[in-house]
Structure 1
Amino acid sequence: MADDVRARTDAELHDLLHRRQDLARPAPADLSALAARASTRASVQRAVDALDLAHLQVLEAASATPQPVTAEAVAALLGATTRLVSPTLEDLWSLALLWRSPEGLRVVRTVGEVLVHPAGLGPSTTDLAGRPTPPDDVVALVDQAPPAARAILDRLTWGPPVAVLPAGTPERVATGARWLLEHHLVASVGTEQLVLPREVALALRGGRSHAEPALTAPSPVGDQREMAAVDAAAGQQVTDLLSLVDELAAEWGLRPPRVLRSGGLAVRDLKRLGTVLDVDQLRAAFVAELAYTAGLVADDGSLEPSWAPTPAYDEWQQQPGDHRWAVVARAWLLTTRAPHVVGTTPPGATSTVNALGPDAHWPPARGLRRDVLDLLATVPTGLAPRSEEVVASLRWHRPRRVPGTVDTVVAAVLREAEWLGVTGRGALSSAGRALLEGRDESSLAAAMHPHLPTPVEHVLLQADLTAIAPGPLAGGLATFMRLVADVESRGGATVYRFTPDSVRRCLDAGWSVDQVLGGLGDASHTPVPQPLDYLVRDVARRHGQARVGAMRAYIRCDDETTLGAMLAERELSPLQLRSVAPTVLVSPVAAETVLDFLRENGFAPAAETPDGGIVVPQAGRHRTPLQRRSAPVTATGVDDELVTTLVGALRAGEEAAQYHRDQLASRPGPSLPSTDPTTTLAVLRDAAAERQPVWIGYSDADGRVQRLLFQPERVEGGRVHGTAEGTARTLSIHRVTGAVPG
């Protein structure tokens, strides 16, 4: 493997590091270290999980053929042509899942640990220490098999190849198993397991490794749309979305919902939000999560925290619609939150997932969202594939990374993409394609700008106390209309309804009656209708006749002299005491502070409950404040400049390592160059698999390095088990200073 990596050109190394980016961080010291890292289980697992179904099936077939691998043998197992299989084998070699030896291609040993039963095939007869049975004899024996034995073979033929026969197995099944063992069609592992050898399974399968080879990607089908209609639909969705975010901010700015003790938004508050936005709870949760992801709403961090708009929202709200869309679209593409799980109960949980809560964080969401959108980008322009077609394509492109709930996830991604204007009428929009290309905010805004309606700066006031906005309103006018009226319906035009409550809301915000009527007159091309004028003036006439204030503490005492002394005491002036009745004083200061001040100045007050009882303080109730979870840390990609620099450093490191090896080789006895733990682990694994000894340098408890000829047997848990000088020993791998084959 190391010789194969060293023999690669710079372009081939460049391709390897780009496609398996985990190999580049941290940077390996030389090409030997790169080869060792590429053969570790964690790295191979990641590479295999990223394969599409064609590459996975070819790799499984290559693992099932005798080594070295030939394209003809793999093609025969798959029932395909060599011409179709050869490019895939070359691609697997470029990924370092195969390596070239003088005899031909070989599968990296660690692939066998990741693909335990490739294509549902068990170990070979040789590995099971059994006697191979020719394929023709297998077929003949199966024809003679009793029904119970045949039933066992039918269950094992296409995998999994292992059957468990615990104590108490019915006699009929046990008799069939004994027949199979006697005729060497299965092997026994332990006392309760039967394993179908690979050669027998292939004979029963007719020489095929897979029942349904899938070496070509499926082509999604769907309805063809005109791009003009797609982009127009996307623009309308964006207009509606921005309006919904503004309404959410307006609602939560006035009546912020509280943050649950466990984090998130209460179910009743989500229902109220859906009512205010006039959408179902699923879309209300999406709007809330999108605003939270984009930093437009957040926990206000107060003693009794609430969800409220952030200062970033005020800046965002003043930007043009295309720039506002670019901000939320990029946030949605990169987030690991999954709005579609809100309201569901995860397996093993006892409660439902709340919007904005920690349980809505789902790390696979970002990768699956990107996979779905990338599939939409590969279909012909304007094609709107059906959800089941996208699911089938996703299963082919990511067969080992698709969750069991893939149907729900794909439907959710397509639905959210439509709401966000990334798609229009089911097809990827022009702005959505720009989003996937990773353009900056200005370019994204420019891609969406032609498809958004031009903001209007007027409304049509009607005598039935409604106003019609013939398009999206400009920022300042939109804010004013949401304040003074309620949205009655949306669409190409928005209908606002004036009510006493909405007019009072505007007056509560500090507007005078003249300012309200003046604002409506400026926004309308026609005079303010008389019914609307009467409504505004009538509400204004009654507004503020009664006043409600707030006080945080009161002092009640039947002795007026005592209260007079408190009012006259200069040390109590910070309490801002005021008499509201002969026996009652009030203060805007918290009750706890009032108690402390009075006691420090010679008074002896007692705390009172709302029903007139005495408060008995409780000790030991101090609790630390609830801490919010930090955002997940994600790794950045490996770019061309980094890879080019790394390849140069690897070449230089390899030259230095080769020079060191040459120097050591000139000395008598085996040379033991220092190797990093990854390389040491790879050498020990290979030696254990091939039952070959290795020379190692081992640092003992006193710091002395011993030279041992060690026969490794197995490597697990950071230790290697084997024998040295005829004695069984277990060595810690981190103490091995170097290892070379014996």
Structure 2
Amino acid sequence: MATPSRSLADDIRGRSDAELIDLVLARPDLARPAPADLTSLAARAGTRASVQRAVEALDRGHLQVLEAVVVAGDAAARPELLRLLGTDDAATVEEILGDLRRCALLWNGPDGDHVVRTVPEVLGTSMAGLGAPMRELRPSSPPEHADPERIRAALAEAPDDSRAMLERMTWGPAFGVLPTAAPARTTARWLLERHLLVPVSADRVALPREVGLVLRDGRLHRTVELTPPAVATRPVSLVDAAAGGAASECLTHVDELAAAWGADPPRVLRAGGLAVRDLRTTASALDLDSVHAAFVVEITYAAGLVADDGEVVPVWAPTSEIDEWSSSEAGHRWAALALAWFGSTRAPHLVGHRSTGTGPANALGPDAQWPAIRSIRREVLRELASIEPGHAPDPASLRARLAWRRPNRSAAVLEEAVEAVLREAEWLGVTGRGALSEAGRAVLGAPDSPDEVAAAMSAHLPSPVDHILVQADLTAVAPGPLVGGLGSFMRLAADVESRGGATVYRFTPESVRRALDAGWTAADFTDTVRRSSRTPVPQPLEYLVLDVARKHGQTRIGGATAYVRSDDEAVLDTMLASRDLAPLRLRRLAPTVLVSSADPRVLVDLLRDNGFAPVHEGQDGSVVHAETPRRRAGARRRGPGPVVSPVDRPSTQALVDGLRAAEATADQRRADDDARPGPRIQTMDPVVTLSLLRDAVADRHGVWIGYSDGHGATSRHLIHPQKVEGGRVRATDESGHEKSYSVHRITGATVEG
């Protein structure tokens, strides 16, 4: 049992180093930025923003117990708490209460557990579907209106229609709209006259908390869920083999994406991201549906293998890292993708969904950024890891368990995200046949050890093969993943017809032409196929290659940036003969026409420097007059953002050591101040000052404050705070006059003593 304390600050100051470390690890926001001392840590732990983060991280069991403590009131007896929860499992409730104390949502006073003051504000007045207490709905209401015995007596006399109206509001919401029909208004009037409903506006009524609890037979929740629901599972076999096959297929998709975008990179949209048309083209090239293609695109981007090239006309192109990645061992290649997916804040499943803007989210765009998906991935993999190896969970029961873990998340959003994570994990090979693979456990257990993750997957990846089986119908079968050079050749020279344990390629006129365009000759093409095939090269394939090669290049297209035309052929002859004009690489296309790859302006300047007098001609044949160019400075490149160190156990230990040292100094300063006459007001952290003022409002006691005027002089005032809001404190001073004080001018505060 914890030592009784007088306040949350007293409770935190009395904790051991191990307990403080557990507190900071449970609520990492308390360490950012580092508090000055333990008093500042306690004040920050009681702020609404920090408490809200802590409450949002609670599972349903802890949330139900916390709500019960709030409804029961401070220092409630255990039997009352168990009655509210509707359970006799005192051991589980006590364990949960200990967790809530550990994360400083409760603190232990001399008379029992107390809720941190901001917890009821975060939970709201309608927690668990209950309404606000009678005294809040109607402050003038006498105490007997909230008496449970009076409420039970009134309910016993209630007509059936009145009872039915109350039952519809019993489990929430606790607010209703007054009916317009005369009989229903009579029913509502009966309830209002007996104070079982309270009017809150001209046409709205509320069910007081006390009435709601009587209707619920004293139970706070319809069903008590202190422990997580069980996950139904089914045994599966060959999990790692299935995961290895999916991983190999994923690596092939990334290779094909890099090859496609390396040859013809898609444009970057003005708002960022990949156009829907380009995603559709990519999906067709990879032979995937758009959802799977978006996942491949996003994971390749997350691994740093494709990026915006940053040019004047930006495109999505493979980065320089793709070459090193492609030459790595398959296990390391997969580890790079898996760890990038595990730590990414990109949510591929949002691609194509309606975003906050006017259109759907684009792949690689800002609308596919969702930081919450990273924690959802971790939670899904943790749940899968808790299941016996070789067993796959039932998706519905897994979603129910995760909904229990995070009850404050939207059920629809969470269900969609969990389904997406399970689907992506299967595509990636983190799971196989629905069960977590050995490599998936390595990703979860060692996210900072790529070598360990790579070793876990390498043993299950199909071995690469160095041969194909060419068949008479112009197809070739690859009995496994092809080695690098042969794989690149087949992706270039043939089209993928089907994938699976073996990949089937088909040679077509278009695919052969693609290889010839890349510089392969017909002889080289045929020799490569002959060397790589375990079967003879069929005659139809040789005929196909020779036929395409015979037609290839009969018509030629070239590029020229500028042309030179002159009616005097001798002038053009002089230009061709001039050594000074050799860098222009002039070439004659007709007796009176030369072409060059140089820019027209450069061409004009260089010809003038060599004694010629050309003019710049526009597309319509008119003379283009030169204008003075205007230079613009390039945009400044921003450096990397601030690096935030993780809140881990070593850093937390160092923080606690610093807090202990600061607390010792503060204790000495307080002892020195206590020896001086008059009230002690010391300069303190503004968060601590605000916390003390809010406590004074709630407890209705006086506070001495130090207040700085417009000239910088500080004076002391005894005030009784009434409200703290909008950066100001409304309070009454010693003479009883109400005044307003700016919080930023208050240098410190101390309780009237």
Q: Do both share a fold (TM > 0.5)?
A: yes
> Distance in 2 between the 1:627 and 1:545 partners?
49
> How far off its partner does 1:43 sit?
0.6
Query: In structure 1, what is the Cα distance between the partners aligned to 2:299 and 2:639?
Result: 18
Equivalent residue in structure 1 for 2:674, among 665, 672, 689: 665
Q: Write the distance in 1 (CA, Å) between the matches of 2:424 and 2:593.
A: 58
Match of residue 492, structure 1, among 492, 497, 501: 501
Q: Which moved more, 1:72-81 or 1:618-627?
A: 618-627
CA distance in 1, matches of 2:698, 2:176: 26
- Which shows bigger deviation, 516-525 or 1-10? 516-525
Residue 531 to residue 710, structure 1, CA distance change in 2 (3 Å) = same
Partner Cα distance (1:544, 1:450) in 2: 47
Q: TM-score, normalised by structure 2?
A: 0.90
The Cα RMSD (Å) is: 3.2
CA separation of 1:148/1:587 partners in 2, compared to 1, >3 Å: closer, same or farther?
farther
Secondary structure of the 2:134 match is: coil
Change (3 A) 1:114 1:617: farther
Gaps of 5+ in 1: none
Specify whether residues 704 and 163 from structure 1 end up closer, same or farther in structure 2 by C-alpha distance, changes over 3 A only: farther
How has the CA–CA distance of structure 1 residues 443 and 329 changed in structure 2, closer, same or farther, with 3 Å as cutoff?
same
Q: In the superposition, relative to structure 1, how do residues 664 and 632 fare at CA in structure 2: closer, same or farther (>3 Å)?
A: closer
1:216 equivalent to 2:224? Answer no
Question: Is residue 2:28 matched to residue 1:21?
Answer: yes
Aligned residue in 2 for 1:206: 217
Task: Judge which range, 182-191 or 83-92, deviates more.
Answer: 182-191
After TM superposition, list the pairs within 5 Å mapping 1:587-606 onto structure 2.
587-591=596-600, 603-606=614-617
Report the CA distance between 1:77 and its aligned residue.
0.1
Aligned position for 2:280 = 271
Distance 1:547 1:332, change over 3 A: same
1:720-739 equivalence runs, <5 A = 720-725=729-734, 726-739=736-749
Residue equivalent to 1:424: 432
Give the 5 Å matches for 1:648-659. 648-659=657-668
Deviation at 1:110, TM superposition (A): 0.5
CA gap 1:477/1:704 in 2 versus in 1, 3 angstroms: same
Report the more deviating stretch, 260-269 or 569-578.
569-578
What residue identity is the alignment partner of 2:375? G
Aligned to 1:47: 54
After superposition, the C-alpha distances for 1:334-376 in whole angstroms (9 at most, x for unaligned) are 1111111222223x53212222222222222212222222222
- Aligned equivalents of 2:134, 2:42: Cα separation in 1: 31
In the alignment, structure 1 residue 368 sits paired with structure 2 residue 381: no
Structure 2 partner of 1:358: 366
Separation (CA, whole Å) in 2 of partners of 1:417 and 1:624: 46
One-letter identity of the residue aligned with 2:110: P
1:79 aligns with 2:98: no
Q: Deviations over 1:234-264 (max 9, x none)?
A: 0110111111111111222222222222222
1:466-485 superposed matches below 5 A: 466-485=475-494
Query: In the alignment, which of 418, 431, 447 is matched to residue 410 of structure 1?
Result: 418
Query: Greater CA deviation, 707-716 or 614-623?
Result: 614-623
In structure 1, the partner of 2:155 is: 142
Once residues 193 and 233 of structure 1 are traced to their aligned partners in structure 2, the CA distance between those partners, rounded to angstroms, is 59
Matches within 5 A, 1:546-625: 546-555=555-564, 576-591=585-600, 603-608=614-619
1:284 and 1:627 map into 2 onto residues whose CA distance is: 35
Q: CA deviation at 1:152?
A: 5.0
Q: Do structure 1's residue 380 and structure 2's residue 388 form an aligned pair?
A: yes
CA change 1:646–1:328 in 2 (3 A) is: same
Displacement, 1:287? 1.0
Q: Which shifted more, 217-226 or 52-61?
A: 217-226
Which of the residues 40, 63, 66 maps onto 1:59?
66
Contact 1:10 1:647 in 2 (8 A): yes
Where 2:34 maps in the other structure, the secondary structure is coil
Query: Residue 549 of structure 2: which of 540, 548, 567 is its match?
Result: 540
Task: Name structure 2 gaps, 5 residues minimum.
Answer: 1-7
Tell me, yes or no, if the aligned pair for 1:70 and 1:105 is still in contact at 8 Å.
Answer: no
Letter in 2 for 1:404: A
* Aligned-partner Cα distance in 1 for 2:445–2:225: 29
One of 517, 524, 535 as aligned partner of 1:508: 517
CA contact (8 A) 1:64 1:121 kept: no
Q: Tell me, what secondary structure is at the counterpart of 1:730? A: strand
**Is this contact kept in 2: 1:394–1:402, CA < 8 A?**
no
The range that moved more, 532-541 or 170-179, is 170-179
Distance 1:311 1:437, change over 3 A: same
For 1:517 and 1:568, locate their aligned partners in 2 and report how far apart those are by CA, in whole Å: 44
* Equivalent position amino acid for 1:204 in 2: L
| SS of match in other structure, 2:412 | coil
Please give the secondary structure, in 1, of the residue aligned with 2:404.
helix
Alignment of 1:234-383 (within 5 A): 234-346=243-355, 349-383=357-391
Deviation, structure 1 residue 630: 11
Deviates more, 1:725-734 or 1:649-658: 725-734
* Partner-residue secondary structure (3-state), 1:219: coil
The reply to whether residue 460 of structure 1 matches residue 469 of structure 2 is yes
Q: How many residues align?
A: 735
Separation (CA, whole Å) in 2 of partners of 1:418 and 1:615: 62
**SS of match in other structure, 1:451:** coil
Answer with 560-569 or 26-35: which moved more: 560-569
Relative to 1, partners in 2 of residues 1:126 and 1:575: Cα closer, same or farther, differing over 3 Å? same
Aligned residue identity for 1:400: N
What amino acid maps onto 2:345 in structure 1?
Answer: T
1:225 alignment partner, one of 236, 248, 270: 236
